[in-house]
Chains A and B, each alone.
Chain A
Amino acid sequence: MKRFIGFIKKEFYHIFRDRRSLFILFGMPIAQILLFGFAITNEINNVDIAILDHSKDATTKEIINKISASKYFSIKQIIEKESDIESVFQKGHVKAVLNFEKDFSKNLIKEHKATIQIITDATDPNTANTISNYVNAILQHYQKDLNKDIVIVYQIVPETRMVYNPELKSVYMFVPGVMTIILMLVSAMMTSISITREKELGTMEILLVSPLKPFQVIIGKVFPYIFLSIINAIVIVMLSIFIFKMPVQGSLFLLALESILFIISALALGILISTIAATQQTAMMISLMGLMLPVILLSGFIFPISSMPIPLQIISNIIPAKWFIIIIKGIMLKGVGIQFIWKETLILLGMTVFFIAVSVKKYKIRLE
């Protein structure tokens, strides 16, 4: 036991002596969470649009004013002919062109009907669709004013209550996600490389002939990283509470336990990678190339899992990050206790045990 403690101490020294790595380890996640928390949003604001007004009368002017007054759009260009539409799209200057028909006001008065084309650059389907919906909503509102005198009979009005995030802040969606990718990738990368490093430099052989048992070697190697990751997690949670005003409706203690579980599962995954990979380069490519995009795309961090095709929804279940995101959103935003997230917790626990079991098995094979 004394030998083992000595070994852990040595590992700690190793890490803390390398100032540059430490700076990277702690500085980067902080910089990232600050940057993303403030910058990333999937809302659509200030979309640049162009106007093609064939009518140029009082009504079209009024509508154009209403549109430019909304926070969603800024009118960047006024174009004069249809053939210009193609070129403004190709330059990528605007995302949509509103095309008012000729004699707009006249038609509205005479025939009670006038038309506007909403031409969108649908290479980005989401933005195109949203622009179209927003323009429609603004026009609907304007129509209501025009039709004030006509009473509509029988009406059901929905009273909508947005729960867990009434102000629809996108930061509530992104902070848990960013927290997850940082913890996941930093933890997995750290362990995956630390053991392959010993292998590559040849020092692993020396460790293996030492009186320490193989699992002691591994635990000794991982232990300092558990410690580092926990500090990382604490810093991230504090930043999200104090800077982004994320609520923690549930128990902070539960949040801490779940975070530790997640960190351990990520570290175990890292060990698994390190038992497979022979060189640091391979280990890094597996943990970066193999984990980064799947974790960003399949965890529900940015894209809703329920909208994905069924096979991908099934695949998403093997991404540990998915479960952790459900857990932290549950604790922080919904304020749920363990009785609502025990299933997710068990799955994470199961994955951790699996990663460790496989690595132990692989590890023994290597020794023979």
Chain B
Amino acid sequence: MKTILYIIQKEFKQIFRNKGMLPIIFVLPLLQLVILSNAATFEVKNIKFGYNDNDHTSTSRALVERFNASTYFDVLTDFPSEAIANSAMLKGEVDVVLEIPLYFERDLQKEKHNTLGVTINAIDGAAAGVMNVYVSQIIQRFNQHLKVDLFQISDKQVQPITIETIPLFWYNETLNYKTFMVPGILVLLVTMITLFLSGMNIVREKEIGTLEQINVTPIKKSQFIIGKLFPFWVLGMGLLTIGLIIAKLIFDVPMVGSLPLMYVYTSIYILVVLGIGLFISNFTETQQQAMFIAWFFTVIFILMSGLFTPIESMPKWAQIITEFNPIKYFVEVMRMVMLKGSGFMDILPQLLKTLLYALIMNGLAVWSYKKTT
């Protein structure tokens, strides 16, 4: 026991002695939490909008005014010709162009029906879909106004049947994106710090040659590993704590659920990450290799965690892969417990899978450690 304590002491000293690393471990992640949480939103707003009005009548002006009044559309430009509008679209200056044809008003009065050209930059397909919905909504509302105002037709027809929908947004009525992203980004930062530090740590001793020296000392391997990894576990828990405080104080993220439950889960989760880190260390010869492998898995874990894009939309085979992604479970648990107040029984499946993962990874790590040294 005493030996472990000495190693832990030594490792802590090593971490705190490296003045260059301290800001990277403590400041950088928290700074990113504060800044980047604001960046992650799928909301589509400030759409760059332009139009080409060939009609110049009160109807066409009234229609453009509708877009002007909407909060979604921004920077109204009247392009003198379609060609200029197209080139602005190529340059990325506008994302939506409305083309109003000549004799638009006249034809509308005559035929009661007319079409408008709408061009949307669809490189981001999802955003283009949303822009399309906004444009149609505005035109739809304009149609109703046409009927009533411009042509003074009273509504004497049979009342149409309507199905009224009442949307209710539970747990986040204002659809605030930050309450969703902050817990997720915190998960990433905790994972990255603990994985990178532990993954590099032992391979560094190998590369420099000090591992050989430790191997000839009377210390047991299990003691050595526990002593090595414990400081990172503490670091991860510490980072989680500071992150949660920031989430509450700066972002006012609701914390509906049980904090102890979150800590219990995190303490097991970090063991998974440390196991992976140790495993990587054992299979690499240089820090460079360790770093590339850690990077490879982190990018996959992040992008396939359901943190930024929904897992249900992935193809079946990819959904199966996500079952092996520890970050996925951590993100789920954090969001469930923090935002919805899910209890122990609700997160039991995730908890059990994580526990199993921790046992397997650490088992593998210890086994491979013995084998390679």
Contact = CB atoms under 8 A, between A and B. Distances in A.
Contact of B339 (A120, A123, A330): A123
B158 interface: yes
Nearest to B294: A288
B274 interface: no
Interface string B144-166: 00110011010001111111111
Contacts of A193: 287-288, 291
A197 to B, nearest CB: 7
- Measured as residues with beta carbon below 8 angstroms from the partner, the interface class of chain B is 35 or more
Contact of B193 (A133, A289, A333): A289
A336 interface: yes
Given A89-B340, A114-B164, A161-B117, A122 B171 contact: yes
B225 interface: no
B125 A115 contact: no
B113 interface: yes
A334 B114 CA distance: 30
A45 B315 CA distance: 10
Contact of A285 (B24, B166, B285, B299): B24
Contact of A153 (B43, B112, B166, B177): B112
A303 B42 contact: yes
B296 interface: yes
Contact of A42 (B121, B126, B168): B126
A170 B321 CA distance: 20
Contacts of A143: 160-163
B33 to A, nearest CB: 9
A158 B147 contact: no
Contacts of B342: 90-92
- Count class of interface residues, chain A: 35 or more
Interface in B325-373: 332, 335-336, 339-343, 346
B309 interface: yes
Contact of A162 (B122, B167, B292): B122
A337 to B, nearest CB: 10
Contacts of B135: 158, 160
B279 interface: no
B136 interface: yes
B39 interface: yes
Contact of A307 (B46, B91, B164, B300): B46
The 5 closest A-B pairs by CB, nearest first: A168-B125, A122-B169, A39-B318, A162-B122, A125-B175
Interface of A: 18, 20-21, 24-25, 28, 31-32, 35-36, 38-48, 63, 89-92, 108, 112-129, 132-133, 135-136, 139, 142-143, 146-147, 149-170, 172-173, 181, 185-186, 189, 193-194, 197, 200-201, 277-282, 284-286, 288-290, 292-294, 296-298, 302-304, 306-309, 312, 315-316, 326, 329-330, 333-334, 336, 340
